[in-house]
Amino acid sequence: MNNKKNIFQQILSKEIVTDFIYQDDLITAFNDIKPQSPIHVLIIPNFFIKTLNNVNYKHELVLGRMLLVASKIAKKKNIDKSGYRIVINCNNDGCQTIFYLHMHLLGGRKGNNIFF
């Protein structure tokens, strides 16, 4: 069994020092280390879920909280009116590189319509 923590687990346990934008009992948000847009925030559950394939009905609250807080952060960062994009990558074709469920909040410039 592989007990090595992945990057987001190390961020949560503060083994990797990262400023949190937001944290509550269920989720944590912080800036992406390699931003793809002027605002690029990652929102993660406070407990391990590998991919979106691994969610179940017990996760409804945390999944809802991730979206709710994304909208609050967008407002706080003043990109709610100009707009933003929410992305969850899943597995290889979805370009997931960190296997710990996370939501990207991207904004601050106009994006494009190319997803694949």
Q: Which parts of this chain interact with ligand 5GP (CB under 6 A)?
A: 7, 16, 18, 30-34, 42, 89, 95-98
**Nearest distance from C-beta of residue 89 to ligand 5GP, angstroms:** 4
From 40, 59, 102, 104, active-site residue: 102
Q: DSSP of 17-46, one letter per residue?
A: ---EEEE-SSEEEEE-SS-SSSEEEEEEES
Q: Is 107 helix (H, G, I), strand (E, B) or coil?
A: strand
Cβ atoms of 49 and 100 closer than 8 Å: yes
Q: Calculate the CA 83 to chain-centre distance.
A: 17
**Nearest distance from C-beta of residue 45 to ligand 5GP, angstroms:** 14
H-helix or E-strand containing 76?
Answer: helix 60-76
Choice between 7 and 55, CB closer to ligand 5GP: 7
**Nearest distance from C-beta of residue 37 to ligand 5GP, angstroms:** 11
- Assess whether 40 carries a catalytic annotation: no
Choice between 12 and 79, CB closer to ligand 5GP: 12
Catalytic positions are 102
